Structure 1
Amino acid sequence: MTLADRLHACHSSVIHDVMADMKLRIRVLPRTILGLEPGMKAAGPVFTVRGRPDPTLDKHTSLFEWAGLLSKSPAGHVVVCQPQDDTRALFGGLSAEALKIKGVRGYVVDGGCRDIQAISDQQFPVFARYATPIDIVCAWRAEAFNEPVAMGGHLVQPDDMILADRDGIILIDGSAAEDVIAAAETKMATEGEMVKAIRAGVDPQEAYMKYRVF
């Protein structure tokens, strides 16, 4: 099982707790960035994209460059896009088809998305701030790939790992990922024992004193 697969089996809330216990910096992306469906989940190393509005583009150039963004997105990664745009959809159904076939693990955008039902039907994990039918044609271009991008007061670094689920989106420094994920796996196993004790009727405080989790 890869590190990304192990992270996918974790919960963002548990990752947060173990990082806090380890006194690591906490970087949680804005709570307004949500999965298109509640059950969506994405985990893995990040591939960052930064772009900007550009009204000088013609239709062919904007679409050709967008296809290039999809081509550059590597398998086994989660694409994290800072579009610097509050108007357009920075992802859609055909893009989801392309990235899913490539083996990309998900897409997180500090902006909009469209073709929501089509993406949901594909079960490709996408996290976005809003839905809109407006696309990027003649209006937006990517300008940087796999460079640090600012999002919600944090810098997303190319060597980060990310976990996005129903509770939120959390980043892990690449150098700490192995230790954090191992600690999260231990904590989840302990929480499982705590759940069994509670369900067996053990007093909550008594169970806490034994397992030291809640």
Structure 2
Amino acid sequence: MTITSLSRRLEKVEAKRPPGVSFFLIWGRTLEEAEGEIALRERAGTLRKGSDAVALVWPDPEPMPASRSIRFGLGFGQEPKISDRELALLGAAFRAEAIARERAAAVEAGEDVSALDDTDFHIRSIRRESNDLERDLRFFCREENPEPEIHRPTGNGHGPMKHCVCPSCQSGDTAPRTGFERHAARQSAWLARYLPGEGLFV
């Protein structure tokens, strides 16, 4: 099964642990290598032809995880052993497929997409797939606009406190007050661009 057909079965495309999904996950240093392993396993009979299999590229220098069967939705304490990095790469793959699908549908419908970007199409996918739209839009907004790291003044409790002198605090990006102010301004601009009139975070 391709990532596209798998993603269509997901309740929420952006979910890190989609419930009730079972597939064979294969990693490769290249997509050709991963897809070749699917064909090899099918010929050897260790993977049934036409089975739900996902081939993904492992981009990190660390050793690749083992190719194996993955099933989500087993319940707490029974989920498969899968690293946060693997989940992140799976989520990115599902999201990319959803964006490509939404873009293709818009083009096929004759829509002018010249002013739209990946975020626009991902939001369309969320609207199409979500069972709790407000929650999922809030989650996506926070994911796109993470709160800044706030560096507090340093000191040992004796004498005057010294302000952080790291480059980001010197520029004002992570100072205690201006960091939040800059984040609020960026988030407001993002909401005005992508989700005008939704009434989130008011």
Category of TM-score, reference length = shorter chain: under 0.3
**TM-score between both structures, scaled by the size of structure 2:** 0.24
Structure with more contact order per residue of length (Cα contacts < 8 Å, sep ≥ 6): 1
Higher strand share: 1
TM-score (norm 1): 0.23
Q: Going by fraction, where is helix more abundant, 1 or 2? A: 2
